[in-house]
């Protein structure tokens, strides 16, 4: 009668970690690997924010320059118009309206820039990411060391078992002769 044994999964190469499996329960605590992966993703997203911040600053400068050019053009047009027809010149209310619009644009840009992360926040995140990377490397090295130690202990235990069996066998053969 042949006994059927379930197929064994293929063995992992020595020193390699098995692929991470997602937890069955979404409320289960996160593993160190998941925490590190999330930190790396967060850093990648933060680098995107840094690029966005740079572009926001560039766009702000361009917007201010365009507004200044528009104001200058408006004033020159008004002055030219004043020379042609003083009755159709721009009023003080027009200038105030343009200035208010310029102030509103500047305030909006300032608000957008203020929402972006500060250099200190970025440095803090970068420090946390480096620590997480060091911790992950240390954990990997510790796991490798533990795996190597386990293999050595297994070999030692097997050797001791053979010696015990040999001694028991010798004792049984020696006791039978008495």
pLDDT of residue 51: 73
Boundaries of every domain in the chain: 32-156
Instruction: Please say whether the beta carbons of 137 and 33 come within 8 A.
Output: no
- List the structure tokens of 21: 């499996």
Q: If the chain, 178 residues long, is cut into consecutive pieces of 10 residues, what is the mean pLDDT of each piece?
A: 52 54 62 70 66 76 87 84 60 80 90 82 88 91 89 91 90 66
DSSP secondary structure letters along 65-101:
HHHHHHHHHHHHHHHHHHHH-GGGPPPHHHHHHHHHH
SS3 content of the chain, % helix, strand, coil (to 5): 80, 0, 20
* Contacts (Cβ under 8 Å, ≥6 apart) of 17: 140, 143
pTM over 0.95: no
pLDDT of residue 176: 54
């Amino acid at each position: 009668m042949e006994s059927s044994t379930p197929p064994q999964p293929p063995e992992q190469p020595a020193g390699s970690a098995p692929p991470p499996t997602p937890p069955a329960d979404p409320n289960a605590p996160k593993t160190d690997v998941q925490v590190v992966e999330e930190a790396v993703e967060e850093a990648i997203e933060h680098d995107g924010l840094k690029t966005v911040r740079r572009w926001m600053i560039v766009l702000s400068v361009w917007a201010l320059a365009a507004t200044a050019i528009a104001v200058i053009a408006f004033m020159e047009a008004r002055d030219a118009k004043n020379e042609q027809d003083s009755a159709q010149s721009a009023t003080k209310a027009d200038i105030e309206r343009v200035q208010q619009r310029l102030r509103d644009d500047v305030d909006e840009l300032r608000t957008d820039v203020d929402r972006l992360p500060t250099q200190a926040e970025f440095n803090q995140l970068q420090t946390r990411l480096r620590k997480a990377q060091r911790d992950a490397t240390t954990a990997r090295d510790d796991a490798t060391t533990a795996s190597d130690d386990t293999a050595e202990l297994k070999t030692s235990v097997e050797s001791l078992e053979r010696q015990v069996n040999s001694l028991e066998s010798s004792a049984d053969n020696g006791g039978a002769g008495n």
